[in-house]
Structure 1
Amino acid sequence: MSTTAHTAEHLPVVIVGAGQAGLSVSWYLGRAGVEHLVVESATPTHAWADSRWDNFTLVTPNWHCRLPGYAYDGPDPDGFMTRDEVVEWLAGWLDTFTPPVRDHTTVTRLRRTGDAGFELTLTDADGDVTVTCDQVVIATGGYPLPVIPTYAGSLNSEVAQIHSEQYFNPEQLPDGAVLVVGSGQSGTQIAEDLHLAGRDVHLAIGNAPRVARFYRGRDCMTWLADMGLYDTPAQEYPGGKAAQEKTNHYVTGRDGGRDVDLRQFAAEGMHLYGTLTDGKDSTLRFAPTLTSSLDKADSVYNSICSDIDRHIEANGIDAPPPSRYEPTWHADADPTELDLAAAGITSIIWAIGFRPDYRWIEASAFDGGGRPMQTRGVTQVPGLSFIGLPWMHTWGSGRFLGVDRDARHIADTIVAALGESHLRLASGQ
């Protein structure tokens, strides 16, 4: 894909970030004839190739994959694309239009200029350039900084430590047992990857829920889509803010898709622990939460199945009979301590998430936790918008399924705010 370097000092719109979210806004602005620039620190959509492990697969069915003017049309809509297939699919999308991207350029400062407009400092290999714009869209991803606990530095230096975004395959790790910390989607799938490769795996789990891969003849996420869960506005979603703050349900699309059953892994030899709370040298300490965490995850699993049952019954859908998950393994006791050396653990993978980093933005648009205060991506700072955030509008926000709708809304808002003779985009859904 060709890139376009702008020398103009002022532009109507600057989009920071050329992932699928930022480029989706660009697609709509280009269709509306709005001059704009997309600034990308690496290359467009690079994170899919650079930050996913070798055996990564989507956890959402392929039919969820929709971007402006482009949707998955391959032979397996109910399957799950691998990392390399996603990279190829995105490359096909980028072949359908030419966004004005300035790559290998970082926005190191963004500030308001008077009553309206913004000034951005763009830094590349040749130095700094300043541009101004009327509207700016932040599409850098919701949580760019990997979280590693403060006590990690006090652990035995002979134990290798990496974050989940740095993991690619078992072979990159030293011989010996591996501790994975975190039971969200990345943690459980990386633990499975290591387990299937024959590694001795220890897994510290948190409060992440789980979901069935398939239930009553269909993928659970297809049922949930039919039930409208991915289209429900955040303000109306059952459970409110508390539900939105929870870690995503763990499940996998590997080998055609299946449940992630930590109890079964334990029966096969994986070592499970509750929440990791502290550590020093070769000693780690855990809260006695293993049993309760497994029970809660299974409860959510069965609760979602019950919701699907009610949907099937209410709509008279012909489907296979209902069922419930019954535990096949129980911990004898909740472990509270682990000696890394005694267990032969030579590496730790931290899979405990990411945190926001908007320190380069000088605008009053963030809450006490550093997260943008926004409604459907639009902030109270005139001209400042965000795209690609989890729960920006619905559960589908931040995923392929919701990007198109969110981008249309942001682009429509921008076109209206510019007040020029551009065709107003239909708000849609």
Structure 2
Amino acid sequence: MGRGSRGTAAVAALAGLALTTLVACTSSGPATTVTPAAAPATATGAATRPLDEETVTPSAADRALLDADLRAAAWDDDLPRATALVARGADVNAKDDTQQSAYLIATSEGRLGLLRLALAHGARVDDKDSWNGTGLIRAAERGHGLVVGALLRAGIDRNHVNRIGYQAVHEAVWLGRDTTTYVDTVRLLVAGGAELTRPSRDEGLTPLQMARERGFDRLTGVLVTATTTDPVKDPDAALLAAASSGDADGVALALRAGAGLETRDAKQRTALLLAATGDHVDAARVLVAMGADPDALDDRHDTPWLVTGVTGSVPMLEALLPAGPDLTIRNRFGGVSVIPASERGHVDYVRRVVTTGIDVDHVNDLGWTALLEAVILGDGGERHQQIVRILLDAGADRSIADKDGVTALEHARAKGYAAIARILERP
């Protein structure tokens, strides 16, 4: 459970607890009277110690300091520091006196990188907080869909009931909001096979009844679909069809029915590639959170990530980035995604993609960089002028010539693109 309103049942469940317990033991982190910085007060000594190059087994006292420092790093969302502390022997499962561990903090605060670190270093996935809640319950309450997906894939108990009688799906609905983050979260619980019809202990309401009670139309729609749709007969075909049409609820139901996440159609397209091609971002977010591969190649050598350079969809780019796409994968022309985006005049996409670390000077099989394509295949208008500026500001090398030795500036002059030529002439 986290901070904020919890409804009548939650208040009743807390009656009689000491005030200090209310302040210190909330599963979503320190209450307003206890800041994250104050929680690991004993960690000062370890925090100032230099990181040793050699692995040394710490003493019990040093381990306690390391563990406290790790929890502090988790509250601060300091992944490099957390990584270094784990390498020195800090325990991702070690709890303080409020039953917080680095692993549990990562779940409630939505820190995907920290969660991945914890899972890779022995996190007890079904560990409980002071509310007898799992990390899944904590993440669902806050609407952290990517964390929910990662926990489901890690095999967490998706139906655990905490001390006040809520499962993860109850918390997402009763303590959540009717927003995209919570819609995603509930869809992921559907996809992951969570029980959807058990009433909460005190209110006696199912998740659907809770959504209606709250007046949450979007969550109501998801839960109505999930609880009333006929069983899926061919999960793989249903998944591909739902992804292709942008039916995010259908994607969740197909996965719930056992569809293979990387199942392919006759053209070797996965569900995520179909969603990316159609710019169906809601469906893509469900697939990404459940572990879909952003680098899966089809028979045209396209991937979900490469397709974003063609469509120019920034929302799809953002949906795919948490999956860690390989920015160096080449399309059938030998290009990375910034090249077709520059050619097609996708200004917003180019502005965003150059911040990802993609190689703006990559040369495709035609001998062209993104800058050369923006000039050679562009129309010389305002969009391509902006793209030339963006690429140059991102460090693109204007001196790179094509296979015939012609630079972008020389092409701009030959085409009569005076505005672009002036941009390229500037130092």
Q: Which TM-score band (shorter chain)?
A: under 0.3
- Structure with more of its chain in helix, by fraction: 2
User: Whose radius of gyration is greater, 1 or 2?
Assistant: 2
Structure with more relative contact order (C-alpha pairs < 8 Å, separation 6 or more): 1
- Structure with more of its chain in strand, by fraction: 1
Q: TM-score, normalised by structure 2?
A: 0.27
